[in-house]
Amino acid sequence: MDTSRSYLEPSSFSKKMAATIIIVYAVITLIPISWMVMTSFKNVDSAISYPPEVLFEPSLEGYVNLFTNRSRQSEEYLDSLPPPENWYEELVRSREMVITGPSKFLGRYSNSMIIGFGSTFASVFLGALAAYAFSRFRVPLKDDLLFFILSTRMFPPIAVAVPIFIMYRKLGLGDTHLGMIILYTVVNLSLAVWLLKGFMDEIPKEYEEAAMIDGYSRLQAFFKVVLPQAMTGIAATAIFCMIFSWNEYAFAVLLTQFNAQTAPPFIPTIIGEGGLDWPAIGAGTTLFLLPVMIFTIILRKHLLRGITFGAVRK
């Protein structure tokens, strides 16, 4: 590094102090998340013991409860059954219950996947097209259009939910995957256009001009030269769109019920006997949050850049 400005470097003592405070903050901020993961591996009794148990015997009861529907049975009935075939049946039997079938969790989870990936792809693709046009061409009323695109993000979702609800009912899009994909695509589009325009602005015009002199059409130049160059920006934008769709709750809870319901409105409804089944909710939460956490850690560079980038540009 540049040694000439080394006297501007903070002293090693102040660095250590800063590091200590940051580590303490990081630990505190991670406690709620770790606690949920730990709870998912507790059994129902140890999840409601007080004082809260930090050391406990790990159990998969939460995960079994998450993936199955069960019903309580009398002792005579349980005795009359053939012995349990596998470990999870045994676990459920020990609670004087039998498995009646799979729960809806897997279906809700895959809905989240389908809607998440579908809308991410669509909003990044459409966003890249629009961003390129805004970045390269003279568009009439450009600034107004850009502001219009951005301002659509200020609407409270509930405010437009009733009209969308009525519109979707008429079009037969209510509670369908397609309807939710279209909706999330539109919500993400404004952010996608803004983020991607920044990245497109950074790509020198000369690249595609050179390609066009070599006989490419504008479209070919866009797909073969510009898009590959913008890959970092596209990846960062895609992560944001995916995280939004994955986490979205208001529209999902208002517009879907059975067919296209995603995981966020479903997880709170995982209720056990006599109150909430915390290990099962913990298991659902853990499985739901895990992909986002892994994503965040692996792709941290793009992600952190994207957050500040979007803000700094405006």
Partner 1 sequence: MSVKKKFKGLSDKAVGWLFIGPTVLLLLAINIYPLVYAIKMSFTNFYANKIGREPQFVGLKNYIKVLNKEAIWEKMQVTASFMFWTLLLQAIIGLGLALLLNRKFKGNELLTTLIVLPMMLSPAVVGVFWTYLYNPQVGLFNYVVNFFYDLGSFDMIGSSTLAPWAIVIVDTWMWTPFTMLICLAGLRSVPNYLYEAAEVDRASKWQQFIYITLPSVLPFLLLALLFRGIENFKMFDMVVELTSGGPGSATELASINLKREAFEKWKTGYSSAFAVILFVTIFGFGNVYVKVMNKIKER
Restricting to residues 62-121, name those near partner 1 by CB under 8 A: none
Under the criterion CB under 8 A, does residue 237 sit at the interface with partner 1?
A: no
Residue 287 beta carbon to partner 1: minimum distance, rounded to whole angstroms: 11
Give the interface segment with partner 1, choosing from 44-52, 59-67, 99-107, 229-237 (CB under 8 A). Answer: 44-52
* Rounded Cα–Cα distance for residues 180 and 178 (Å): 5
- Considering only residues 66, 130, 225, 283, which one is a binding residue for partner 1 as defined by CB under 8 A? 130
DSSP 7: G
6 counts as binding partner 1 under rule CB under 8 A = no
For position 137 contacting partner 1 by CB under 8 A, the verdict is: yes
> Looking at beta carbons only, is 81 or 158 nearer to partner 1?
158
Of 56-64, 70-78, 102-110, 165-173, the window that binds partner 1 (rule: CB under 8 A) is: 165-173
Provide the 8-state DSSP code for 52. Answer: P
User: How many angstroms separate the most distant Cα atoms in the chain?
Assistant: 85
Q: Is the peptide bond before 51 cis (omega within 30 degrees of 0)?
A: yes
**In the set 15, 69, 81, 202, which binds partner 1 (CB under 8 A)?**
15
273-312: contacts with partner 1 (CB under 8 A): 276, 278, 281-282, 285, 288-289, 292-293, 295-297, 300, 303-304, 307-308, 311-312
CA–CA dist 228, 184 (Å, integer): 25
235 touches partner 1 (CB under 8 A): no
Per CB under 8 A, the segment of 34-42, 55-63, 66-74, 90-98 that binds partner 1 is 34-42
| Residue 151: CB atoms within 10 Å | 10
Minimum gap (Å) between residue 102 Cβ and partner 1: 21
Residue 94, SS3? Answer: helix
- Which 201-220 positions form the footprint of partner 1 (CB under 8 A)? 217-220
How many CB atoms are located within 10 Å of the residue 34 CB? 10
- CA dist 132 and 15 (Å) reads 43
Closest among 122, 92, 249, 124 to 193, alpha carbons compared = 124
Candidates 67, 132, 194, 199; binder of partner 1 (CB under 8 A) is: 132
First to last CA, the chain: 31
- The piece of 17-25, 56-64, 77-85, 93-101 that touches partner 1 (CB under 8 A) is 17-25
Amino acid (1-letter code) at residue 135:
S
- 254: contact with partner 1 by CB under 8 A: yes
- Rule CB under 8 A: say whether 193 interacts with partner 1: yes
Q: Residue 86 corresponds to which amino acid?
A: N
| CA–CA dist 227, 230 (Å, integer) | 5
* CB nearer partner 1, residue 8 or residue 101: 8
Q: Verify binding: residue 16, partner 1, rule CB under 8 A.
A: yes
Is there a contact between 126 and 191 (Cβ–Cβ < 8 Å)? no
Question: For residues 88 and 309, which CB has a smaller minimum distance to partner 1 in the complex?
Answer: 309
Smallest CA-to-CA distance from 262 within 230, 236, 288, 299 is with 288
Please give the size of the binding site for partner 1, defined by CB under 8 A.
103
How far is residue 31's CA from residue 133's CA, in Å, rounded to a whole number?
46
64 membership: H or E segment, kind and range: helix 61-67
Q: Which one, 93 or 104, has the nearer CB to partner 1?
A: 104
Looking only at residues 138 through 157 of this chain, which bind partner 1 when binding is defined by CB under 8 A?
139, 145, 148-149, 151-157
Q: How far is CA 32 from the centre of its chain?
A: 18
Is 271 a residue that touches partner 1 (CB under 8 A)? no
